[in-house]
Structure 1
Amino acid sequence: MGKAKKSTKKFNKNHLKGELARRNKFRKTKQLIKKREQKKSKRSGSSHDEHSDDDFTGIEEVDGLAEFAESSLKGAGASMDVSKFMEADPNKGGSSDESDSEDIDALLSEGDSEIESGSDNDNEEMLSGSDADEAEEIEAAEDEELGSDEEKSFKEQFESMKEKDPEFFKFMQSNDPEFLKTMEEAAEDEDEDEDDEDEDEEQKKGNGKNEDKDDDQDLEMGSADKRKGVLVTAGLLKSWERQVAGKRSLRSFKRLLLAFYSASHMNAESDSSSSMPFRIEGVTVFNKTIATAIRVAPAAFKHYAPVEDGKINRKASGKKWNVVQALVKSYLSSLLALMGQMSDVVMVQYLIKECERMIPYYGCFVRSTRDLVKELLRQFGSASANDSVRILALLVLRQLVSASGTEIADMALKGIYLTYVRSSNVRNIGSLARIQLMRNCGVELYGNDASASYQHAFVYIRQLAIHLRNSMQLRSKESFRAIYNWQFINSLHFWTEVLATYCGDRADEQPEFCATLESLVYPLTQILLGVARLVPTAKFFPLRTHCLSQLLRLSSATGIYIPVLPMIIEMLESPDFLSRRPIKSTLKRPQFEALLKVPGQYDHTRVYLEVVLEHAFDLLADAFASQSVRIAFPEWCVPAVLQIKRWRKRAGQSWPKFSKQLQGLLEKIEQTSRVVQQRRSKVDFAPANFTGANQFMNDVSADETPIGAYAASLRKLRAQQRATLFEAEANNN
């Protein structure tokens, strides 16, 4: 048998035992799972209990909801595997932090087993023919230079295997005796290689250069106790920096990065922290180590692997990249480990910016890129994170998505949505501002790729439809809780904002987004209508106002008509206003922005009903304003105007303030009707001309009409009041 390659020796020495043990364990586990599945299939029946055809499901209330819940991805995302986006169990409610946490963990750890092979393939694309032989020689030299002197002899490990692990030795004797013979021969070759290397080193010592003389002396002084690692000092750091900057010493650069690795993993919980190659003592040395590595590493990487147009120029770097790629990977992982330990806002921002500079190098390693996405999402969703950190994490994520492939883009889009959902529980008024910022950031990230955005939006909107359908079928308190929670409502708010932004506000800037996402407006509208009507009692009026405001936002942005007025009138015609005398109370005014269901002590109190009327009035003004530039506005508003007048006659005396506000609103509606009629009298096309009807009053903004200007002033006033509440809440905290 011929002499084994050094790579084969190294694998046999470091990885063979673990690989065989892993395969045996995997085979046993697979057999055990197969047996369990067979037992379960025998025990379980072939069918599940189904609802009878006579049971009322409630789906008839929402047209097309059942069809959408049973539909599949079409159009831009027809070729995508939808199953990989459906980890979340539709039968579990959206209110569980644990379920969302498991979902995001499953996302962020997906596919780790395939990363190493993928990254290796990327690095080996440029090697072929004689270049591969030269690369092997460079890798061998790198192994000798970067720490082969720290490894134990292969022969000693093989000889001690009989005593340390006799079971494994017996297993090899019974299963593969020829391989044991090969290992013995490789051990003998190892001895010969070591003798040759010793002779070569003795010759090199007499003729070698002294470029690392100071460095070696410092290491000898600090290596008294190798178990604790070499003690890093300021002088040692200066020596390494001088060698790297002046002479491009790979050995000094490697030691500097090892010291940086030791500093970034000082607080690691694993046992590896006790066997670090270097020891950091004191805050001053720690800070100097971090600062030196971050200052020196980018310049060194630029020398060995220059970046052009956001990518590493492999032709310019040549064989140097094969030498330093392990150092690059170590530096990137150390950056992420250090960022995970930092709590100071300034330091976290500094490290995120450093990661942004290293994005071209992250792109060379799939696993490192995924780790970067995980850490950015963690910083984005952290409850203690500063708003500036969230914005900076979003900017880096956007740049990373633009520079990477579809796999990273899918991971970032899914991750930012699930992180938003997991962090969207509203506990007080102060948390609304944070959730709003996270929602805006997520909407911005979904503006990179129309096809990917459609795929994710379709899957998650369909998931919301499944939740609602199940709740309508069961009609129980538990099923209602799966819908009436902040995570579900804020999920609807997220997709409402996505569709309103790219199908309305930015439709002219990005027409491809509008054409791709517009088909999702209808199912999202049906879900919002179904959620608003699921439990139509006065206790859930805050939730209904949230749904109606989202519908109005969607309608005004996209120009699609959504029948919102009937649901607002239903709130006014509640028995709490028409047939019962309200209860006087001294309770504090409830904040609808932070409520889905009013507490029990507010039931039928005057203070609560007054807040309901205020929000109903704002919704009425916005609903009329959104249609104020339509050619049919004078006729469209007639039924609602009659109902409002009828309500004023029946309940106006009990609510004089609100009745007076309604009178002013009716006057603005009448003024707007006259304006539309005047413009309509000058048109020269028939009612059958839909193109002309749709272009009617295109030169007039909705905020310029009488009712539109009135609604805009109300929105401005509410925004000022909300800002005051946020400021007061922040001062109290």
Structure 2
Amino acid sequence: MEPIDEFFGSFEGGDYNIVKETKSKKKNIKKVKSTKLSAEIEESDDEPAGKVSKLLHGEDEAFAKFLENEDPNLLNVEDGDLDDSEAEADESDLDKKESEFVGDENDADDFDDADEPDDVVDQSLIRGVKKWTKLFESNSATIATCRSLMRAFVQVSSPMVAAYGSNASKLKIASGENHEADDLLLASIVDLAALHLKPTLNKLLGTKVADKRDMPYNSLPKWVNIATPLNKYFTSCSKIVEASLQQPLTYKILKHLLVMRNYLMCYPKVVNQVVKVVSECWADRSNHELEISSFLLLERIAKLDMEQYYQEIARKAFSAYLKKAAASSLETLPKIAFMQQCLVQLFALDINFTYKQAFDSLKSIVLLVKAVTIDKKKEMQPELCSWKTVHTLYLWVSLYGSIKNYGILSSLVYPIVETIKEIISYACGPRFYPLRFHCVDMLTMLAKSTGKFIPIFQHILDIFSQTDFNTRPKKLSVRPFNLSGTVRFSESDLTEKGFLDCITERMYRLILEVMNLHAYSIASPELFLMPIVHIRKFLKVCENREYCQKFKQLVEKMEESAQFIASERERVTFSVQDADEIKKWEQSMEKEGKSCISKFYKKFVEIEAKNKAAKNLSYSNSDNEMKSYKKQKKYFKTNHSMISKKKGKKKGAKNV
């Protein structure tokens, strides 16, 4: 059996016989034409040879006779030249007809008919989708059915993506008559593939053997039948995600790629393209479903092949996080927090690579601190006191809260603490209080996750001596300051009333968090001594009753907790050197939960959450009221101007 016969023999439904018939028709047409030509030549011995001479004698006999008298060979044109061109045209028509019949099993209407209108192709594809659904639901689908489904997906998606040009991320959907129909058709094909493609391929290829032996799927014997259409299918999926046609469609395709990840890993080039496209989708999209599905796909690809893809995925994700962090604002903070959690989950997979990445980023921050503090380079100050450094430090600090076994990362705790302290000591003015609060928050997170003692109270209590809480504000603030969305204050912010209010609230919360951190420590009476002394000095000087009531409450709680721990500490039999016994004692005290500070802190967090929800509702309502007021104002202005114009015209007419 020849290779051509083998190729066409794979198609069922009489397609192979049709191809043979078309070939025999070609040969018969050539034979008939050659016999006609020979008969015509024999009959026309007396007349000038060829079709050119016949045409000339029929149209202009005088000119034909003139040519014969001058040179008789001019009209002896070979008829074979003309007839061969006609035969070639007939052959091309037959080839087109032949391409209409040749196709896969269950692929009655061919999808490569470029000459047919779009409506005919769409109807054929709709009929094909209905036929494939019946085959998949009845468990009678074959490899040819899967191939046809994938080819249909490629055919429908390729013109939609190609319409957007090379830079697909900046393009918008082109308006066309059949655009909605194409979207519905593509969505139906994607739904069908997401439901039935993987289980059918698993059944037909026999992937259970490959899963048991940890073999790649491309080593299976039947993989050759599906290799090329599956490659095109995955590339078109990545192009659709890159083009960002519709959010529901891209979400379905990302979920489908997540399910088909074992098949996807057999194509390294396609995997690199998918990683690039999906990482951009994870970083740039605002839809939460797309963010989660894209990150899950990246994480599963990294887990399947840690050596080849993990480091590339982690580096791309980290660079995207830094880009997003550099342009941080109140609107982008939830997105940055989500990216931070995703990166923590990625870096937890390989601690050695994470150590190298953390060491390099901390080294760059330390060099910035050195350039600003020691070398006195003022132009480097904005880069040091920026959101990029803050979010980078937040990332490495939050990493310790999610990893149980730190390993080599435990050696980076001390450098992180020292860099944060250097930033606090440099940015010590009132304008950089938000940056100071962020740094204190990072130190509390690090002390809580690692269990190591870090002195934090002094960085908060220094604010009492640096600011005058008795000064009267020059301006009234419209809204309270949100310190989570700023790194520094402006000069005008320092003169507003909301400046002192937000500082006292933030200090109150941070002191309470540190108190809760040391509530069950055996050394809490000594640790609470310094803040009690500083706050009492502040209470003697401060004239604002609200501020005095807040900090006086903290002093009372610290004194009560210190007395409780001191009384419980007197009953202990072990010495100061028994570190294990001290840890056990602190853990037992924490389980009992008798400390007044921990109870007060829980109530405070609950009340704060309720107040935040109420504030968000009031702000949204006020914004809506302002928008409606502005619309009404514009409406009245336009009506007033129209009425005044009409009155002016009437007055002018009367004067005339």
TM-score by length of 2: 0.69
- List runs of 5+ in structure 2 lacking aligned partners: 12-18, 20-90, 169-175, 625-656
Q: Is the 8 A contact 1:602 1:608 kept in 2?
A: yes
1:334 deviates by 0.9
Q: Secondary structure at the match of 1:576?
A: coil
Q: Is the 8 A contact 1:416 1:442 kept in 2?
A: yes
> Could you report, residue by residue, the CA deviation over 1:55-78 in whole angstroms, capped at 9, with x for unpaired residues?
xxxxxxxxxxxxxxxxxxxxxxxx
Change (3 A) 1:210 1:691: closer
Structural RMSD (CA): 3.9
For 2:346, the equivalent position in structure 1 comes to: 445
Given the alignment, which residue of 207, 212, 223 partners 1:307?
A: 207
Aligned counterparts, 1:230-379, within 5 A: 232-236=121-125, 238-239=127-128, 242=131, 246=141, 248-249=143-144, 252=148, 255-263=151-159, 265-270=161-166, 281-292=178-189, 295-296=192-193, 297-298=197-198, 301-302=201-202, 305-308=205-208, 309=211, 318-342=220-244, 344-379=246-281
1:701 deviates by 2.7
1:713 equivalent to 2:607? Answer: no
For 1:195, the equivalent position in structure 2 comes to: none
Q: Secondary structure at the match of 1:695?
A: helix
Given the alignment, which residue of 588, 596, 601 partners 1:699?
A: 588
1:413 equivalent to 2:314? Answer: yes
For 1:620, the equivalent position in structure 2 comes to: 511
For 2:76, the equivalent position in structure 1 comes to: none
1:142 deviates by 7.8
Q: Secondary structure at the match of 1:265?
A: helix
Change (3 A) 1:216 1:633: closer
Q: Secondary structure at the match of 2:332?
A: helix
1:572 equivalent to 2:499? Answer: no
> Could you report, residue by residue, the CA deviation over 1:506-533 in whole angstroms, capped at 9, with x for unpaired residues?
x3xxxxx333422222111112112222
Change (3 A) 1:435 1:138: farther
Q: Is the 8 A contact 1:628 1:708 kept in 2?
A: yes
- Give 1:486's aligned amino acid: W
- Give 1:652's aligned amino acid: C
- Give 1:562's aligned amino acid: I
Change (3 A) 1:416 1:140: farther
For 2:570, the equivalent position in structure 1 comes to: 681
1:581 equivalent to 2:471? Answer: yes
Q: Give the Cα–Cα distance (whole angstroms) in 1 for the partners of residues 549 and 4 of structure 2.
A: 84
Q: Give the Cα–Cα distance (whole angstroms) in 1 for the partners of residues 167 and 399 of structure 2.
A: 46
1:557 equivalent to 2:449? Answer: yes
Q: Is the 8 A contact 1:379 1:385 kept in 2?
A: no
Q: Secondary structure at the match of 1:423?
A: helix
Q: Give the Cα–Cα distance (whole angstroms) in 2 for the partners of residues 587 and 241 of structure 1.
A: 65
Change (3 A) 1:351 1:254: closer
Change (3 A) 1:439 1:648: same
Aligned counterparts, 1:658-677, within 5 A: 658-677=547-566
- Give 1:389's aligned amino acid: L
Q: Secondary structure at the match of 2:348?
A: coil
1:338 deviates by 1.1
Aligned counterparts, 1:202-221, within 5 A: none
For 1:396, the equivalent position in structure 2 comes to: 297
Q: Secondary structure at the match of 1:385?
A: coil
1:704 deviates by 4.9
Q: Is the 8 A contact 2:474 2:496 kept in 1?
A: yes
Change (3 A) 1:231 1:494: farther
Change (3 A) 1:354 1:210: closer
Change (3 A) 1:253 1:660: closer
> Could you report, residue by residue, the CA deviation over 1:637-666 in whole angstroms, capped at 9, with x for unpaired residues?
2222212212222x222x222122222111
Q: Is the 8 A contact 1:652 1:659 kept in 2?
A: yes
Q: Give the Cα–Cα distance (whole angstroms) in 2 for the partners of residues 261 and 381 of structure 1.
A: 24
Q: Give the Cα–Cα distance (whole angstroms) in 2 for the partners of residues 334 and 315 of structure 1.
A: 21
Q: Give the Cα–Cα distance (whole angstroms) in 2 for the partners of residues 713 and 664 of structure 1.
A: 14
Change (3 A) 1:531 1:211: closer
Q: Give the Cα–Cα distance (whole angstroms) in 2 for the partners of residues 352 and 271 of structure 1.
A: 20
Q: Secondary structure at the match of 1:717?
A: helix
- Give 1:366's aligned amino acid: P
1:230 deviates by 11
For 1:545, the equivalent position in structure 2 comes to: 437
For 2:485, the equivalent position in structure 1 comes to: 594
| Range with greater deviation from structure 2 (446-455 or 632-641) | 446-455
- Give 1:347's aligned amino acid: L
For 1:532, the equivalent position in structure 2 comes to: 424
1:431 deviates by 3.1
Q: Is the 8 A contact 1:379 1:390 kept in 2?
A: yes
Q: Percent identity among equivalent residues?
A: 17
> Could you report, residue by residue, the CA deviation over 1:202-246 in whole angstroms, capped at 9, with x for unpaired residues?
9xx9xxx988599577568x4437xx9997322245348758965
1:436 equivalent to 2:331? Answer: no
Q: Secondary structure at the match of 1:590?
A: coil
Q: Is the 8 A contact 1:265 1:338 kept in 2?
A: yes
Q: Give the Cα–Cα distance (whole angstroms) in 1 for the partners of residues 8 and 289 of structure 2.
A: 43
Which one has the bigger helix percentage? 2
- List runs of 5+ in structure 1 lacking aligned partners: 1-136, 150-197, 273-278, 508-512
Paired residues in the alignment total 517
Max radius of gyration: which structure? 2
Given the alignment, which residue of 522, 528, 539 partners 1:631?
A: 522
Given the alignment, which residue of 452, 455, 461 partners 2:362?
A: 461
Change (3 A) 1:422 1:219: closer
Q: Give the Cα–Cα distance (whole angstroms) in 2 for the partners of residues 468 and 143 of structure 1.
A: 72
Q: Is the 8 A contact 1:584 1:607 kept in 2?
A: no
Change (3 A) 1:717 1:463: farther
1:571 deviates by 1.0
Q: Give the Cα–Cα distance (whole angstroms) in 2 for the partners of residues 676 and 661 of structure 1.
A: 23
The higher relative CO (CA closer than 8 Å, separation ≥ 6) is in 1
- Give 1:658's aligned amino acid: Y
Change (3 A) 1:145 1:600: farther
For 1:134, the equivalent position in structure 2 comes to: none
Change (3 A) 1:538 1:138: farther
1:426 deviates by 6.3
Q: Give the Cα–Cα distance (whole angstroms) in 2 for the partners of residues 624 and 492 of structure 1.
A: 23
For 2:534, the equivalent position in structure 1 comes to: 643
Q: Give the Cα–Cα distance (whole angstroms) in 1 for the partners of residues 257 and 151 of structure 2.
A: 21
Q: Give the Cα–Cα distance (whole angstroms) in 2 for the partners of residues 300 and 408 of structure 1.
A: 28
Q: Is the 8 A contact 1:380 1:393 kept in 2?
A: yes
1:652 equivalent to 2:652? Answer: no
> Could you report, residue by residue, the CA deviation over 1:359-405 in whole angstroms, capped at 9, with x for unpaired residues?
001211222222222222222222x5212222222223322222222
Q: Is the 8 A contact 1:259 1:289 kept in 2?
A: no
- Give 2:283's aligned amino acid: G
Q: Secondary structure at the match of 1:630?
A: coil
Q: Give the Cα–Cα distance (whole angstroms) in 1 for the partners of residues 494 and 465 of structure 2.
A: 17
Q: Is the 8 A contact 2:522 2:582 kept in 1?
A: yes
Q: Give the Cα–Cα distance (whole angstroms) in 1 for the partners of residues 318 and 278 of structure 2.
A: 13
Q: Give the Cα–Cα distance (whole angstroms) in 2 for the partners of residues 439 and 374 of structure 1.
A: 19
TM-score by length of 1: 0.63
Q: Is the 8 A contact 2:141 2:200 kept in 1?
A: no
Q: Give the Cα–Cα distance (whole angstroms) in 2 for the partners of residues 599 and 356 of structure 1.
A: 47
1:550 deviates by 1.3
Aligned counterparts, 1:149-164, within 5 A: none
1:672 deviates by 0.8
